[in-house]
Structure 1
């Protein structure tokens, strides 16, 4: 009975122990995070991201000639794994491109951090290894520059504030 109560409490408060990364870190989440695994940051390897529930959608984008399939964890699931408590995220690419996006977008539109493009890992040359993507084809209101600029390819860091 005590174990069941403890489990219910953990699930209701999103009790989560993020594993220590074992391998190359591809994403760091810092700022307002409550589940750090290295200092004050939540670090993720590709394997850690692959262990989160995976989602896919096919969408037209301005960056590819034809509709492509994106697969990866939901942005909101990655933020939950890190214990993110903020209202905004600054997403930063390998080339230091940065953009601020509202966390509410992650819940409203089921954005993903794509790690696969047409079922294959993305190289840095092909906008990888990680790419924040909105489901453009599913929501007409997303087909505008404000959302295109929030889609960060070569994602490497997120700061929650």
Structure 2
């Protein structure tokens, strides 16, 4: 085999190995704890069939944000913490324009993907330092930064503030 041909073969093999390693590094890992969120629909990154399942630890690894705001459901201002909605959408490779956010009781709301891109919307996992349980509107609660952007405090956006979130379907 000629030196040129050997180098070409070696270069091709190296490129293949690097692309394989890169794609494995970007793959969404499987949850190790109880699944609290399932993302489906028009997504490119999955870990269970054609869905992306998340446990609490996986969500806590995403970019986090603290939002201090009043809501129609709480007295006074509350400090919410959780992953940014746009970080979740980036992680799953969301391709759609809208998402259907579904609660444990099957209540759902259509939310434009643009909301998560334009505003610091979070999937709150805690309020005032306490983990959100189902009885506290958890495990996940869509929280908009109402105090930072008062125009968001309207009936249309309030209906998008789903609590007890269990699933998001990207369309």
TM over 0.5: yes
**Is the partner of 2:157 in helix, strand or coil?**
helix
User: Aligned partners of 1:75, 1:16: CA distance in 2, in Å?
Assistant: 19
Q: CA deviation at 1:56?
A: 0.4
1:111 to 105, 115, 121: 121
Deviation per CA, 1:56-110, whole angstroms, max 9, x where unpaired?
0100100001100110110011111111111000000000000101000101111
- Taking only aligned residues, the RMSD between alpha carbons, in angstroms, comes to 1.6
Counterpart residue number, 1:34: 44
Q: Measure the CA separation in 1 of the matches of 2:150 and 2:132.
A: 26
- The correspondence for 1:139, drawn from 149, 156, 163, is 149
Is 1:52 the counterpart of 2:80? The answer is no
Say whether residues 1:17 and 2:27 are aligned partners. yes
1:25-71 CA deviation, whole Å, 9 max, x = no partner? 00000000100000000010001001112110100100001100110
Q: Distance in 1 between matches of 2:100 and 2:106?
A: 11
Return 5+ residue gaps in structure 1 as ranges: none
1:80-99 mapped onto 2 (5 Å cutoff): 80-99=90-109
Helix, strand or coil for the counterpart of 1:136?
coil
What's the TM-score, normalizing by structure 1? 0.90
2:138 aligned to which of 113, 128, 143 = 128
Aligned residues: 152
In structure 2, how many angstroms separate the alpha carbons of the residues matched to 1:56 and 1:73? 9
Query: Are residues 1:76 and 2:86 paired?
Result: yes
TM-score with structure 2 length normalisation? Answer: 0.85
Residue 16 of structure 1: how far off its partner (Å): 2.8
Runs of 4+ in structure 1 off by over 6 angstroms are none
